Amino acid sequence: MVAPYNIPATQHQFEFEIKRSQFICYAAHADHREAAENFIKTIRELHPQARHVCWAYIAGAPNTTIMSMSDDGEPSGTAGRPMLKILQYSGLGEIAVAVVRYFGGIKLGTGGLQRAYSDAVSGVLEELPLKLKVPREQIEFCYDYALESIVRHVLSRYDIDGEQLSYNEQVSISLQIASTQLDAFQTELINHCSGAIEIHVKDKV
């Protein structure tokens, strides 16, 4: 079960200079791989003259396997890996970062590069506006009108969103509930309604 986690609220950037090399780090929200790759493409198009555009992303919850990185021509292991490591330690999810480097003519060495790319990501994260992402499950169920007050009472105790109702022979309801509360909600509602409700779990949202 995925607990709530922070994600970028807006795109943000941070820049600094080391030995005449200019580093510009951009961070943005990326909830899936395509969004992350489109963001990286956009940054490349913004800086067509840059020597390197290195990047890393975690395109999902902090523990997702949908993550990637690139050194983009820097010595292997000096850019993408340290950037991704900073993201992993941050606890953030759904985030992509790209660091643009304009070479200043002085080589930084492998250790210097690792520190520079790590510092670029740490710098952008320090002031990155965040918002809380609550992983949710889409659920649906129907109930008799006589159970309305019981259902309302149980619903009031949980973190729900996007509620939609339709009234026919029974009341049909569709809503999103916090993933961490789904099991407890199912148990409580079914018990309170003496098993007269069947809950259908649709998709994660």
pLDDT per position as a tens digit, 7-53:
999 999 999 999 988 999 999 999 999 999 999 999 999 999 998 99
Tell me the per-residue pLDDT of 104-120, one tens digit each, with 9 for 90 and over.
877 888 899 999 999 99
- Residues 55-82 have a mean pLDDT of 95
Closest CA to 29 of 42, 12, 47, 43: 12
How far apart are alpha carbons 14 and 27 in whole angstroms? Answer: 9
How far apart are alpha carbons 55 and 80 in whole angstroms? Answer: 6
Tell which wins on pLDDT, 156 or 198: 156
Lowest mean pLDDT among 1-5, 61-65, 155-159: 1-5
DSSP per-residue codes, 143-196:
E-GGGHHHHHHHHTTS-EEEEEEEESSSEEEEEEEEGGGHHHHHHHHHHHTTT-
How far apart are alpha carbons 59 and 38 in whole angstroms? Answer: 12
- In this structure, are strands 67-70 and 52-58 parallel, antiparallel, or unpaired? antiparallel
- Residues 181-202 have a mean pLDDT of 90
Residue 105: the pLDDT is 79
- Residues 52-81 have a mean pLDDT of 95
Q: pLDDT category, 76, cuts 50, 70, 90?
A: very high
Report percent pLDDT > 90 for the chain.
Answer: 82
Backbone φ, ψ for residue 122 (5° rounding): -60, -40
Q: From residue 152, give the alpha-carbon distance in Å to each of 44, 156, 171, 192.
A: 51, 6, 12, 11
Tell me the per-residue pLDDT of 121-131, one tens digit each, with 9 for 90 and over.
999 999 999 99
Residue 106: the pLDDT is 79
Residue 204: the pLDDT is 67
Query: What three-state secondary structure class fits 81?
Result: helix
Tell which wins on pLDDT, 113 or 204: 113
